[in-house]
Amino acid sequence: MRKGEWPGIATAVGCLLLLALAIVGSKDSFHLKDWQTTIAAIVAFCGAVIAYQGVMARIDYDRSVVSDADLRRKFGIATRLQFAMHVIGMEVALNLSQLRSQPPHFNLTRLEALFTRELEETWENLEHLPSSIVYNVGQARAAFYDIQLFSIIDPKDPAWLPDTDGGAPKIISKIIRAHEHLAELSKVLHKQLSSYGAGLSSEGRNVKLFDR
């Protein structure tokens, strides 16, 4: 028996008691004044049960409204982050092609703008995402931080000198590895978010939040 069924059962029992008293009251030996206290108690109890049901119905409704709003928020965050990962992945791929060209170069400004604009909302709402996605978002920010850090090293630093075998400067190799790491993370996150968003969408359809 579920707890939510108790008020209804209690009300039914109260009504049955009143009905029993009414039947018994049809007999000449029945004196209503002897049962006034009991009848009043039953009526008061039934009234309390009805009031309780009304309050619980309101609580259930408010809870469902909060749950629906939370589901919509999660779906919105996941959808926007998934798109951001797609765009960031394309920008990283462009940078990698430029870093592997001669002379190596890349545009950090666009990547910085993407991280600032697209990931700021996610960073402020990590509690709405699964831990696996949160972890990879943190890893993506760390990879981007590495790219920023390597990019501001003084051009006169020996790290910018060509490698001993005539290859690219060591700092360029580090920037490339950081870009490759970020590229892999953007793919993983895009896949994770696609699956997570599909789950949220299915849940939303089940409660008629989203159109089928």
Q: Which residues, in sequence order, are CB contacts of 177 under 8 Å at separation 6+? A: none
- 């909060």: which residue's tokens? 66
Distances (CA, A) of 55 to 51, 58, 60: 6, 5, 9
The structural domain count of the chain equals: 1
Is residue 153 in some structural domain? yes
Is residue 211 in some structural domain? no
**pLDDT at residue 212 in the model:** 43
Compute the average pLDDT of residues 163-176: 76
Maximum mean pLDDT: which of 23-32, 99-108, 201-210: 99-108
Is residue 67 in some structural domain? yes
- Euclidean distance between CA atoms 159 and 172, whole angstroms: 8
Is residue 212 in some structural domain? no
Is residue 80 in some structural domain? yes
Is residue 50 in some structural domain? yes
Is residue 15 in some structural domain? yes
pLDDT > 90 fraction of the chain, expressed in percent and rounded? 30
CA atoms within a 13 Å half-sphere pointing along the CA-CB vector of 83:
7
Question: Cα 14–18–23 angle (5° rounding)?
Answer: 145
Per-residue pLDDT tens for 107-164?
888 889 888 887 888 888 889 899 999 999 999 999 999 999 888 876 666 666 666 6
* pTM for the structure as a whole: 0.64
Q: Which domain holds residue 91?
A: 3-206
Is residue 170 in some structural domain? yes
Secondary structure of residue 82 in the 3-state scheme: helix
Query: pLDDT averaged over the chain?
Result: 76
